[in-house]
Amino acid sequence: MKGPTPRSLLRYVTQHLRLEPYLKSPGDTRPHPQIPARTLLWSLLIGRVMRELSFHAVEQLVQTADCRALGVASSFGDDTLAYFTERLDAGVTRAALVDVIRLAKRNKAFDNCRFIGLAIDGTAAGRRSKRDCPLCRPIYNAKKKVIGYGHPCAAISVVGTGLSLTFDVEPYGPGDSEYSAAQRLLARAIQARGARFADYLVVDGEFATAPFLHAADRAGTFVVARLKDNLPELKAAVEKRFCSQPPTRIYHVGKDRVEVWDADDFDPWETLRWQTVRAFRYRQHKPDGSIIQADWLTNFPTRKAGTLALFHIAKSRWEIENQGFNDAKNRYGLEHICHHQPNSILVNWLLTLLAMVIERLYRIRYLHRGTHPVRSASQLCLLLWLGLSRSLAPDTS
Ligand SMILES: [Zn+2]
């Protein structure tokens, strides 16, 4: 029986995703490396895809499996992975992630969608009871008492394409903020991918500030942002207008009835250099009687994205939560700190994202040729384990 194996995945990574130069030179700054960087890096990546999430588990995987079948040159100890990730230049992995996303676009991985979107959002991982590194940020209770420490970050993802690919992450420690981290992410994404990679950027209300929206303008993307109470004048104007009017359109999306209000002639606030603001409200009636309502603002012209398209664009913001953070935490160990050192934490996050990008492009695009349904991530993980176990079976021929 033939099927996906760790070695066939490695061939896909080196030949199709063209990551051989990165695997060989991933920014290793160890002065006297005993174990080649390629061995350690691929072990971490295949370990994530096969859901071995701690350095100790990766060490055990490599020691137990046939190294050749796994695609690594030799075994090593978990302390080697700690030492390696402390000294790995995060910028090289960030560049590799961007290269893979650009290659995916060139190879038309996103072609069955009308718009390519980006979403930026924040999350936190690696909660601790005491401060142990400069990234440890206090967590307060309602009485402003410190109840622990977390490692928050902002991340950026391709959304709205049927293939959610989170490709960069920016930590923020004490004295920093999610807003600043998101601005650094956006600036880096513009610099690395060039303007006009994506059609839109979708974000939560805290990013609906003039500097952030202007940065999105410079990126050559339209921006779609939640309209919340931090913009009281626009919020009030939208409330006054939409409450006095029947919905612009009514759609049936799945089993839901969706009422939509849409108008593109609101005044920008004082510091926003837009001619007008398009505001948009949906009221989504679920079959169980529950109602979801949200207001949004955008500079997406009505002639380019109609009301229904804008509804789907707004909803694509949830992909970074669901297919990004939730998958990264529940399946790929983003919550777990393997080695409590700032650079190691960041590198581990980036390698987790790279493993997820590789897994999705391989499973959803490369393996899904023909008429069979797309395998689930769990099915692929199981097939990789079966492929590895076949290599350990005694040869009885
Ligand atoms: Zn810490």
Q: What is the mean pLDDT of residues 372-390?
A: 88
Cα(354) to centroid(ligand 1), Å: 22
How many whole angstroms from 338 Cα to the centroid of ligand 1? 11
pLDDT number for residue 284: 95
| Selection from 203, 168, 159 nearest residue 188 by Cα | 168
More confident residue, 372 or 361: 361
Q: Average pLDDT of 6-34?
A: 96
Give yes or no for residue 173 having a pLDDT over 70.
yes
27 C-alpha to center of ligand 1: Å?
23
Q: What is the mean pLDDT of residues 112-119?
A: 90
Long-range contacts, 238-241 (Cβ 8 Å, 24+): 238/266, 238/279, 238/281, 238/295, 241/266
> For residue 261, is pLDDT > 60?
yes
What spacing in Å lies between the alpha carbon of 132 and ligand 1's midpoint? 5
Confidence of residue 208 (pLDDT cuts 50, 70, 90): very high
pLDDT value at position 112? Answer: 79
In 3D space, the residue among 75, 85, 69 whose CA is nearest the CA of residue 35 turns out to be: 75
Report the separation in Å between the CA atom of 344 and the middle of ligand 1, taken as the mean of its atom positions: 10
In the chain, the percentage of residues whose pLDDT exceeds 90 is 80
Which residues make beta-bridge pairs with 120? 156
Q: What is the mean pLDDT of the chain?
A: 92
Task: Provide mean pLDDT across the span 202-216.
Answer: 93
Q: Percent of the chain beyond pLDDT 70?
A: 96
Residue 396: pLDDT above 70? no
Q: How far is the CA of 149 from the centre of ligand 1 (A)?
A: 7
- Ligand 1 center to residue 64 CA distance, Å? 31
- Checking if the pLDDT of 193 tops 80, the result is no
pLDDT value at residue 162 = 87
Q: What is the pLDDT of residues 44-100, one digit of tens each?
A: 999 999 999 999 999 999 998 888 889 898 999 999 999 999 999 999 999 999 999
* Domain spans, the chain: 6-91+336-392
pLDDT class of 389 with cuts at 50, 70, 90: confident
Å from CA of 185 to ligand 1 middle: 21
Is residue 292 scored above 60 in pLDDT?
A: yes
Q: Is 80 exceeded by the pLDDT of residue 271?
A: yes
**H or E segment and range at residue 216:** helix 210-218
Distance 156 CA to ligand 1 centre (A): 22
Between the CA of 22 and the centroid of ligand 1 the distance, in Å, is: 28
Distance 80 CA to ligand 1 centre (A): 20
Sign of the CA dihedral with 366 first, then 369, 374, and 378 last: negative
Of residues 288, 281, 297, the one with CA closest to residue 216: 297
Q: Mean pLDDT, to the nearest integer, of 310-314?
A: 95
pLDDT of residue 195: 57
Region 197-213: what's the mean pLDDT?
93
